[in-house]
């Protein structure tokens, strides 16, 4: 006789090891969901294998560069929570947009989840017992019916989330699931808060408020290998795009003593991770016994141009949270049985349900703030065009009205595809109000534009304006003079601020032999050229 569904569920749920183990505060604090853990990795941010570097050139410091480039600031009014200035917000948003575009291919669905949850949730996830000191708790001031503080019950205490995993478990559990739906992949860019001690706070790397490119995959045990392979592909694609690396992969396996789940489950999970690592074709090393108590993991350790190593991406299997949140799915056999079919094939019987899904935590960038710090130091001011907060600047040769008007026309053409973005930005220069055009067409055109275009029509000499633009490292410098006004359709563009080893620009502007310092490009064509350069992640 086959065991009842409940018995099977209990069986399939994770068992404690013979030496019954409850995570201690220390193990929980150290390990729990370290895919979302900044604290531990922060220790590694600026340490380890130091390569031979020129002692006369100090290594780039993202905090100094952040001030120089107007990227972010901090305030005593919110210690550890960086405030992004427009230039920093542009980079942040470009990173998020890049990932969103990849999510379509890698099958992630973005979700939006709360910042605060009732204490009840953190008790269920285990955070309240083991992680509370690292969390911020908040309480309301009572509803109109319960102004009396005595009436406010324990349940009215909330915790600011330090990680997204419990919220994603709630989404998974929001309705019954079938094996057919798996894998389910959620992505989330929510802000997270962790109560770092104030003395340790610094720049973008030691913070209290940050964002992750967080993702959780709920899948069948048989899907683990494929999911890990896909995640490793995602990591490779991302780091190649940013021209970061090399990086190394480290597999951490079952701790000798304190762990949950059966040895068989660990062996299977570790085998799936090893297969995925082998299939990746990349070299990897084993860190035996260093897995989290709730599952094995793969860490990606990135080496920067100074030889410093940074732990960035992680992929972690979790046997713990699906159990705590009683996550399940209907297996293949039970579904068919419900439809009247009689199942006798043993392999299908083994897939009877309800069953426990496997949960995979994964982050490709890790903390977006910390990744930004890494990029700021990596590029050291030489941002690629697509990420550069100072992408394009138009300089006027003089202040003649015809020249300035033509520069504004160029700006409107590049940034807005002909929409008058300049007048909307400077309404004080209007005489007669903004003429409403086809607003739907305007919305569509502006939707395509992600450029930041600046205009320098100051009375300074062209030489000074050029020097200023180069010092600020604009990728594209456009100079507008009387000649351009006379021609009426084009501008003179300096593309030399873009690193382009594959000659994309020459092909786009169809000028094979001329120097890229003074390319004459039609205005209409210029916008399309710049959009193509952005899409090429140049
Ligand atoms: Zn997680």
- pLDDT tens digits for 394-403? 999 999 999 9
Question: How much distance in Å is there from the Cα of 36 to the middle of ligand 1?
Answer: 6
Query: Mean pLDDT across the stretch 503-517?
Result: 80
How many angstroms separate the alpha carbon of residue 16 from the centre of ligand 1?
Answer: 22
Query: What local confidence, expressed as pLDDT, does residue 508 receive?
Result: 84
Rounded to the nearest whole angstrom, what is the distance from the C-alpha of residue 67 to the centroid of ligand 1? 32
The pLDDT score that the predictor gives to residue 513 is 73
The lowest-confidence range among 34-48, 71-85, 348-362 is 34-48
Question: For 396-448, how does the pLDDT look when each residue is reduced to its tens digit (9 = 90+)?
Answer: 999 999 999 999 999 988 987 777 766 556 655 545 444 555 667 777 777 66
Q: Quick one: pLDDT at residue 344? A: 52
Q: pLDDT tens digit string along 210-239?
A: 999 999 999 998 899 999 999 999 999 999
Which residue in 191, 229, 164 sits closest to 96, CA to CA? Answer: 191
Predicted local confidence at residue 463, as pLDDT: 96
CA 165–ligand 1 middle distance (angstroms):
4
CA 361–ligand 1 middle distance (angstroms): 5
Question: In this structure, what token pair is assigned to residue 52?
Answer: 């031979």
Binned at pLDDT 50, 70 and 90, residue 8 comes out as very low
Answer whether residue 24 shows pLDDT above 80: no
Greater pLDDT, 92 or 151: 92
Q: How far is the CA of 367 from the centre of ligand 1 (A)?
A: 12
**Distance between Cα 472 and ligand 1 center (Å):** 39
The residue with greater pLDDT, 306 or 479, is 479
Instruction: Look up the CATH number of domain 5-12+44-113+162-244+308-379.
Output: 3.30.930.10
- Would you tell me how many other CB atoms lie within 10 Å of the CB of residue 115? 14
The β-bridge partners of 192 are 210
Q: What's the whole-number mean pLDDT along residues 505-515?
A: 78
Q: Distance from the CA of 370 to the center of ligand 1, in angstroms? A: 17
Question: Could you tell me the CA-to-CA distances from 223 to 218, 420, 499 in Å, in that order?
Answer: 9, 52, 41
Give the pLDDT of residue 428: 58
CA of 194 to the centre of ligand 1 (A): 14
Residue 356 has pLDDT above 80, yes or no: yes
Q: How far apart are CA 45 and CA 370, in angstroms?
A: 9
pTM: 0.84
443 alpha carbon – ligand 1 mean position (Å): 37
Compute the distance from residue 317 Cα to the ligand 1 centre, in Å.
Answer: 10
18-32, 113-127, 368-382: least confident range? 18-32
CATH architecture of structural domain 392-535: 3-Layer(aba) Sandwich (3.40)
Rounded distance from Cα 212 to ligand 1 centre (Å): 10
Distance 334 CA to ligand 1 centre (A): 30
What is the per-residue pLDDT for 265?
Answer: 82
For the chain, percent of residues with pLDDT exceeding 70? 78
Angle, CA of 452, 458 and 463, to the nearest 5°: 90
Distance 279 CA to ligand 1 centre (A): 25
pLDDT at 422: 64
Indicate if the pLDDT at residue 377 is higher than 80. yes
How much distance in Å is there from the Cα of 206 to the middle of ligand 1? 19
Residues with CB under 5 A from ligand 1 (ion): 33, 36, 165, 361
* Interval 248-255 mean pLDDT: 93
HEC-encoded secondary structure of 130-159? HCHHHCCEEECCCCHHHCCHHHCCHHHEEE
Cβ–Cβ under 8 Å, residues 234 and 226: no
What's the chain's average pLDDT?
82
Among 178-182, 265-269, 508-512, where is mean pLDDT lowest?
508-512
379-388, pLDDT tens digit by residue?
Answer: 998 999 999 9
Determine the distance separating the centroid of ligand 1 and the alpha carbon of 26, expressed in angstroms: 18
Strand-pair category, 109-110 with 453-456? unpaired
Per-domain boundaries in the chain: 5-12+44-113+162-244+308-379, 392-535
């Amino acid at each position: 006789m086959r065991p009842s569904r409940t018995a099977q569920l209990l069986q399939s749920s994770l068992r404690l090891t013979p030496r019954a183990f409850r995570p201690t505060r220390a193990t929980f604090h150290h390990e729990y969901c370290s895919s979302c853990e900044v604290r531990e990795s922060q220790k590694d941010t600026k340490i380890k294998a130091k390569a031979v570097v020129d002692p006369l050139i100090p290594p780039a410091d993202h905090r100094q560069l952040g001030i120089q480039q107007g990227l972010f600031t901090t305030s005593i009014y919110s210690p550890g929570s960086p405030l992004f200035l427009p230039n920093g917000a542009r980079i942040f948003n470009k990173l998020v947009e890049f990932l969103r575009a990849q999510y379509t291919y890698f099958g992630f669905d973005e979700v939006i989840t709360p910042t605060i949850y009732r204490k009840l949730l953190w008790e269920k996830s285990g955070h309240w017992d083991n992680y509370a000191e690292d969390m911020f708790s908040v309480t309301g001031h009572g509803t109109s019916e319960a102004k009396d503080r005595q009436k406010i019950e324990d349940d009215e205490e909330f915790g600011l989330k330090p990680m997204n995993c419990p919220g994603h478990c709630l989404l998974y559990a929001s309705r019954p699931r079938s094996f057919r739906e798996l894998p389910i992949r959620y992505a989330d860019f929510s802000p997270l808060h962790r109560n770092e001690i104030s003395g340790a706070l610094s720049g973008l790397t030691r913070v209290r408020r940050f964002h992750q490119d967080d993702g959780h995959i709920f899948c069948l045990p048989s899907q683990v290998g494929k999911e890990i392979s896909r995640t490793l592909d995602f990591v490779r694609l991302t780091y190649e795009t940013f021209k970061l690396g090399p990086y190394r992969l480290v597999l951490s396996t079952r701790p000798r003593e304190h762990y949950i789940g059966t040895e068989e489950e660990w062996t299977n999970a570790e085998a799936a991770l090893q297969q995925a690592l082998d299939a990746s074709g990349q070299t990897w090393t084993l860190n035996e016994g260093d897995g989290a108590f709730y599952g094995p993991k793969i860490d990606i350790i990135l080496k920067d141009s100074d030889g410093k190593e940074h732990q960035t991406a992680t992929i972690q299997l979790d046997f713990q949270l699906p159990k705590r949140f009683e996550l399940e799915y209907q297996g293949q056999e039970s579904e068919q049985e419900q439809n009247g079919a009689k199942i006798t094939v043993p392999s299908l019987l083994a897939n009877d349900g309800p069953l426990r899904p496997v949960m995979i935590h994964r982050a490709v960038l890790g903390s977006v703030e910390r990744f930004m710090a890494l990029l700021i130091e990596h590029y050291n001011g030489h941002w690629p065009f697509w990420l550069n907060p100072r992408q394009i600047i138009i300089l006027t040769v003089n202040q003649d009205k015809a020249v300035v008007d033509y520069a504004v026309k160029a700006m409107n053409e590049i940034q807005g595809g002909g929409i008058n973005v300049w007048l909307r930005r400077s309404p004080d220069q209007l005489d007669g109000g903004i003429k409403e055009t086809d607003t739907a067409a305007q919305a569509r055109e502006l939707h395509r534009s992600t450029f930041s275009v600046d205009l320098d029509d100051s009375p300074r000499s062209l030489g000074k304006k050029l020097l200023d633009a180069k010092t600020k490292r604009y990728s594209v410098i456009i100079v507008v003079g009387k000649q351009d006004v006379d021609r009426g359709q084009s501008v003179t563009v300096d593309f030399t601020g873009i690193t382009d080893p594959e000659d994309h620009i020459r092909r786009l502007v169809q000028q094979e032999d001329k120097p890229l310092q003074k390319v004459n490009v039609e205005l209409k064509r210029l916008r399309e050229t710049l959009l193509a350069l952005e899409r090429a992640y140049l």
